[in-house]
Every structure is written in C-alpha cells, then in structure tokens.
Chains A and B, each alone.
Chain A
C-alpha cells in the first residue's frame, strides 16, 4: 500500500496522500477517531463491516461527485452493490475480493485413485475414501473460529442471511439454505472426516499440510501465496479447481476482500474520490498492488492484469487466476451483510466451536447466530424482524 501511495504522490503533486497502518483492532480505532472527529478521509473497510460501520454513522455519501457514480461499471457487480448499499449512494470504492475455489493436492488424489469432486456430495464421498484408506488423512479441516470462511460457504449456497426492505431488516441467518450447509459439514464433523483442531493459516495448520495429513483446502483467491510461501516443498503438487457445487449448477462464494470507504468528517471529498478511484481501478495502481500485496482486484479491468493471466510456477504453471475469475462471475450479487455482522460472527464462532467439541450441532450454531443478530440489532435500535 505504501508503495502504491508513493506512486500517486509522485504523479499528483496537488493531491498528497498520507497513509497510516493500524495493526490491531482497526475498526475500533476508526470508531474512536470518528467519535473524536479526527477520522481520515478514507479508510479500508471489509465488505462485511460496511453495514456495521454505516449504522454507526461512519460514512459520507460520495455520490455528489459524478465520477464516483459513474465508476459503477468498472467494478465486479456484487462489490458495487455492497459498497453502494444496493445503489442508495456511494459510500466506498471496492478494492479487492476473495472469490473462492478448491485447492487440491493432486498427487494425493491420484495416489488414491480419486477424481476431482464436482459436487459437495462427491466431495463427501472422497472424504470417506481418503479417510478409509489412511486414518491420518482427512480431506480438509473445519475451523470453527472462522465465521468469514463459513459465511463464504453460505454465500455459495445462496443463503441470504439478511434482507433490507420496508425500513426493516429481515433476518434469515438460519434459512433452509444455511441449514443445508450446516448439516453437510456437521455430518463430516460427526463422522470425523474433517479435522476441527486447526485454525486457518496457523502454524499447526501448515504443519498438518506439511505432514500430508490434509488433501484439500477450501480457499480464496488472495490465499494463493500461502501454500507457496509456507510449503515450498509441495510445489507442483497443488491444483486449483472450482468449488464443488450443491446441485451441479455453478455457484461460488466470496471470502474476504475490502473496500476503501469515504469517512464522515473528511475535508477533501473530491480529492478523496479521485485518489480512491485511481487506487482501485487504474491498471498501473492495480498492477502494483497485486505485485506488492497479492491483492486480487475488485475492478473488472484488474482481472485482465497481465500477471493474472499467466501460469503460476508453484501450481505447475496452472493459470489459477482463470479459475478465480470464473468464480468471481458466479458470486451471487444480491448477498447482503447485516448491520451487526461482527457481533453475529463472534456468536456464530463460539457456537460452532461448541458444535465441533461435540456440544450441539452447526444448526444450533445458526440458531444462536440468528438470535444474536436480532438482539444485537435491537441494542443498536435498528428495526429488525425474524424471517422474510
């Protein structure tokens, strides 16, 4: 980020940008800055945090600037829908996304005579076969402390957790589609076909992959460098394929990604719009962000970057970004995050951890998340009802 900003500052002597890194609890820091009236013009905010921040009055609507409104066509549709709240304004410019895919240890799959799973049913069959052939081998792990990842799976299943209409939030965190996902993973967990003792990107997780104990990874585009950097010995053994689907028709989810939001109290909205659009849609800026930060852009122009159309050596020169680009097109554009998403995620994680410890099920966890969604919105004086 610093290098990208330096490039802008060099080319735009009239609009100079300063950056500040907040290592810990960035949303807390932003909230405090807002209360103190010292918020910056722009702040990086994750998609799932946008409604949360907006209900706290964090953003200013940039749609007064024609450039901001006109930028819509430059971005992947769902990213624009989420940062403009379905077109009610322009509160943020999409930065990066995390379209999901399946990372597969092709050597383990061929060793056990398995083919790449196309559906989640086939994936469960493969899980069974792998574990039967080698009790130390599981197909993947389920990290109960990662609601963001689980939400990505819900997103793929077209589980709409929230709907905002008639000035009221309609909360359907435990919809039939969500339950389908929860039941599926609960079966794998109960049958001990997936591990539940590993945290995503933790040292123990890499150790388990290192010891060839896990055969796949349900991940996002931004994570492609993780295996490359942490497991250099497994170069050439990994392949990236589309996520298994629920009913054979292609669908994908998104895990992570951020926007750069316009903060209330900023003094330079026009300049902020200019810089923000450059930062997140100019090919030169995007190329640099991708190079130094591995950023997977939200701008459609970014998906055409030369470095995203080349084969990646670690993955046997597979053009893995083609898979992610396809995935990006399959992401449901109507998915919405809730205005108290953080509280809901925390409750969901605690309840999922209980489920993986054999104390309840993932369906129970969804019910807990549902009631937390309603009670946390009530505490914030946000009108909400259960169901459609």
Chain B
C-alpha cells in the first residue's frame, strides 16, 4: 500500500514539472531520432525484410513480378555461394596483413611526432594527415596511374634497375589495394593516437626521467600502454573498414582484370543487385553486417579487459 502511495505521489510530482521537461528533451532529441529512424533503421529493416523474400511471377516469362516470403532461401544461397566465401577469405587475408602494418606505422608516426626533439611538428602532422583528406576514389585513381605498367614513372624506374614489377598481377593486386588503403588511413589513425598521447600529463614523463628511463622506455612502457584504448579503437575502425572495402579495388578493377566483380563482399552485393537480384544482395549485406558486428564486438571483448576500456 505504501508503495502505491509513493508512486502516486511521484506521479503527481512528475505531472507538475516533468512533462514540460519531457517535451523539451524530445525537442532536443528529435532532430537526431528522426533522421536516425528514417535513414538508418528503416533502410536496415527494409534490407532485412527484402532478404527473406523470393521473386515469383504469374503469367509466363513477361508476366507480373511479385515477391513472396521465402524464409532463409536467400541466406542459404548466399552461404552456398563460393564467390561469397572467396570474397570473405580475400578481405580476411587483406585485413590480417594490412591492419597491423597500417596501425604499426600510425603508432610509430604518432610516437615520433610526440618526441620532444622533433621540429616542425605541425607541418608533419598535417602532411601525414593529408592523404585522409583525399577522397578514396581519387586516391585509388592516382595509385592506379602509379601501378599501370604503361604510364607509371615508378614502373619505369624499376625497369631502369632491371626489375619488372607487375603491381596489377594476380598475386600482387590485393597488396596494391592494401597499399592504397594504408596510404589513405595511416594518417587518420595516427591522429587519433597522437591526440591520446597529447592528453598524457607531462609530469608522468618527468617522474620516469627522474627514475632514469630512456626515451625509448618512456615510449614503450608509458605512452603505448596509456593510449592502448585508442589503439583498440583504431583497430575496430580498421576491421570495419576492411569488411566494407569497396572503393580501392573497384577503381583498380578498371585497369586490372585480376580484380573480379566479386572481389570483396561489398562488390559482390553490388554486382548481385545490379543483376536485379535485390533480395540476394540484401541477404549478402545482412550477412556482412552480422560478420562485422561479431568481429568488432568480439575484438572489443577480447581486448577490453586488458586495456581497461
């Protein structure tokens, strides 16, 4: 009985002050909620719904098209598609090599920029970040030019010393795409790590120096452990970025026949959709989203305890 009374009392109080507050909150939140629902939740829900449909038609080949519930038909087909697994395997290989290389470079650059003796800091910071300002497609076109055996001054230089590199060959083209991604994103990741480094209070270094720590020891024993959360964050971004890979291989594809239309899962989904099979493309997209979610959350879980996230 007392509980009820308390609730009623609370309710009365809320009616007095609370309601205008709820309206205010709503007014502030709506500009976010509305586009979020319209342009994020609705399309995702639509894709999920599409992925459970199959196409049927009445009245022969040129008859009326309609879709009907097909259960997991599209998923079963996607999972049986060797192209799907091929594309997943390809980006897995890409990610296992490219992400560590890129993040190691980014970390090294961030630590160098943070080193006390470095002059022209702001110049180097901007210079390293510059590639990120270049749209991915433009970057890929630029690199495509540098890779092309017919046009590239780089290939010409290699020829001068008796080498014949084939950047667009069947074995090399994946790494040529990885190189474009690395070039594009190292500066971005470096900046996140560098910002974290800037937040470390200088007295920590002072104390370490008094204890006789070298610059190397300070970097390795103090700086890196403290910025570990941002390294995890950049790794998660990179995992997601790898799974979503599209622009770089799609542009390189125009000059190399060694990149198939199903090179990455995103390219496969696009190719399937452009063949009018939207339902299958939706299933592939949903599968890709699930894999991305599992991998990024899995990685966070795996590392969070260690780095104290």
Contacts of A357 in B (CB 8 A): 169-170, 257-258
State whether B150 touches A381 (Cβ < 8 A).
no
Q: Among B54, B55, B271, which residue has its beta carbon within 8 angstroms of that of A346? A: B271
Overall SS of chain B's interface: loop
Contacts of A145 in B (CB 8 A): 253, 257
Proximity string of chain B (243-274) to chain A, C-beta cutoff 8 Å, 1 when within and 0 when not: 00000000001110110111000000001111
In this complex, what residue of A is CB-closest to B171? A357
In this complex, what residue of B is CB-closest to A342? B275
A358 to B169, CA, bound (A): 11
Minimum CB–CB distance for B196 against chain A, Å:
40
Proximity string of chain A (17-40) to chain B, C-beta cutoff 8 Å, 1 when within and 0 when not: 000000001011001000000000
A380 sits at the interface (CB 8 A)? yes
Most A-side CB within 10 Å, residue of B56, B57, B65, B276: B276
In this complex, what residue of A is CB-closest to B257? A353
A224 sits at the interface (CB 8 A)? no
B277 sits at the interface (CB 8 A)? yes
B149 sits at the interface (CB 8 A)? yes
A304 sits at the interface (CB 8 A)? no
Q: Among A204, A342, A343, A359, which residue has its beta carbon within 8 angstroms of that of B149? A: A204
Proximity string of chain A (355-366) to chain B, C-beta cutoff 8 Å, 1 when within and 0 when not: 011110000000
A169 to B254, CA, bound (A): 33
Proximity string of chain B (213-254) to chain A, C-beta cutoff 8 Å, 1 when within and 0 when not: 000000000000000000000000000000000000000011
A143 to B61, CA, bound (A): 33
State whether A340 touches B276 (Cβ < 8 A).
yes
Minimum CB–CB distance for A262 against chain B, Å:
14
Contacts of A356 in B (CB 8 A): 257
Q: Total interface residues on B, using CB and 8 Å?
A: 33
Task: Tell me whether A204 and B257 are in contact in the complex, defined as CB-CB below 8 angstroms, given that A57-B65, A340-B276 are known contacts.
Answer: no
B51 sits at the interface (CB 8 A)? no
State whether A169 touches B61 (Cβ < 8 A).
yes
State whether A202 touches B57 (Cβ < 8 A).
no
In this complex, what residue of A is CB-closest to B277? A379
State whether B62 touches A55 (Cβ < 8 A).
yes
State whether B261 touches A204 (Cβ < 8 A).
no
B2 sits at the interface (CB 8 A)? no
Contacts of B181 in A (CB 8 A): none
B296 sits at the interface (CB 8 A)? no
Q: Name A112-131 residues within 8 Å CB distance of B.
A: none
Contacts of B7 in A (CB 8 A): none
In this complex, what residue of A is CB-closest to B62? A54
Proximity string of chain B (81-125) to chain A, C-beta cutoff 8 Å, 1 when within and 0 when not: 000000000000000000000000000000000000000000000
Proximity string of chain B (269-288) to chain A, C-beta cutoff 8 Å, 1 when within and 0 when not: 00111111100100000000
Minimum CB–CB distance for B71 against chain A, Å:
15
14 other contacts beyond A55-B62, A55-B65, A379-B277, with CB at 8 A cut-off? A54-B62, A196-B257, A197-B149, A203-B151, A208-B150, A340-B276, A342-B274, A342-B275, A353-B257, A354-B260, A379-B77, A381-B56, A382-B57, A383-B61
Q: Could you give 24 example pairs across A and B, Cβ below 8 Å?
A: A28-B274, A31-B276, A55-B65, A55-B276, A57-B64, A144-B257, A145-B253, A145-B257, A164-B61, A167-B60, A199-B257, A203-B150, A204-B150, A340-B276, A346-B271, A346-B275, A358-B170, A359-B170, A376-B275, A380-B65, A380-B276, A381-B54, A381-B56, A381-B65
